[in-house]
Amino acid sequence: MESKNPLRHILALVIALIPLMYVALQWNTVPETVAVHFDIHGQADDYGSKKEMLLMAVFLSVTSLITYLVVINAHKLDKKRTKGVKPVMFDTIALATVLFISILNLTIIINSIYPGVVLLDKVVIPVIGLFFIFMGNVMYNIKPNRFVGIRVPWTLNNDENWKHTHRLGSKLFFVGGILIRLVSLGYEVEVSTIFMAGVVLIITITTVMYSYLYHRKSQNNNA
């Protein structure tokens, strides 16, 4: 793993392991049956053993670390597009992703142990909004690659398409993140959840359609 600051890797590892540390500290007091699924209102609607909760926590921690490793090494894994040079902000994006997944992981664990504590509207949705705002601030600067960004055939095959699509995506993510945060503060959890899903759907459809239309326009101009 290359980095000008090796301590970043240690920090990422510690952040990823915090949820598991919490489980270890609470293990003897965790009831044998815990909540393992929650509805749109943030209420527990399915239960399982505490071992299931542990497996989910381990899965998310491992996922966050794998994601971290892939992102910081994207320039090696996709030399064709990155030319072997690490894209700007990739270390920061990787660390932010680990932090994001770990917060969600810890929230799920706490909700599993204490199903009466609803954290969906207090933590999960606001954190997703903040992550969208963060991505909106860095997305415009992401260079073409196969691991981070809006990776559809038209952006991957054309650098100009990639640049223009990510400029649009940057604005949509930033505005979408702010709106998600505001709605989560002012409305009930079910409204916030539906609104967040709607924002994700709109951003996805808009960026993919924009990329496709830009591709078609480029084809017509070159015809």
* CA nearest neighbour of 202 among 176, 164, 163, 166: 176
pLDDT at 34: 82
pTM for the structure as a whole: 0.85
pLDDT band at 212 (very low <50, low <70, confident <90, very high): very high
pLDDT at 223: 59
pLDDT band at 118 (very low <50, low <70, confident <90, very high): low
Query: 123-144, pLDDT tens digit by residue?
Result: 888 999 999 999 999 998 888 8
Least confident stretch, 26-40, 65-79, 101-115: 26-40
Residue 128 sits at φ, ψ, to 5 deg, of -60, -40
**193/46 Cα distance (integer angstroms):** 19
pLDDT band at 1 (very low <50, low <70, confident <90, very high): very low
Q: Which two tokens stand for residue 127?
A: 């954190």
Query: 139-195, pLDDT tens digit by residue?
Result: 988 888 888 899 999 999 999 999 999 999 999 999 999 999 999 888 888 899 899
**206/155 Cα distance (integer angstroms):** 14
Query: 79-98, pLDDT tens digit by residue?
Result: 877 777 777 788 999 999 99
Long-range contacts of residues 20-26, Cβ cutoff 8 Å, at least 24 apart: 20/57, 20/58, 20/61, 22/106, 22/109, 22/110, 23/53, 23/54, 23/57, 23/109, 26/113
Greatest mean pLDDT among 48-52, 103-107, 112-116, 184-188 lies in: 103-107
- Find the length of the chain: 223
CA atoms 13, 15, 18, 19: torsion sign: negative
Share of the chain above pLDDT 70, in %: 93
* CA nearest neighbour of 180 among 115, 134, 142: 134
CB 168 within 8 A of CB 206: yes
pLDDT band at 5 (very low <50, low <70, confident <90, very high): low
The yes-or-no verdict on residue 39 having pLDDT over 80 is no
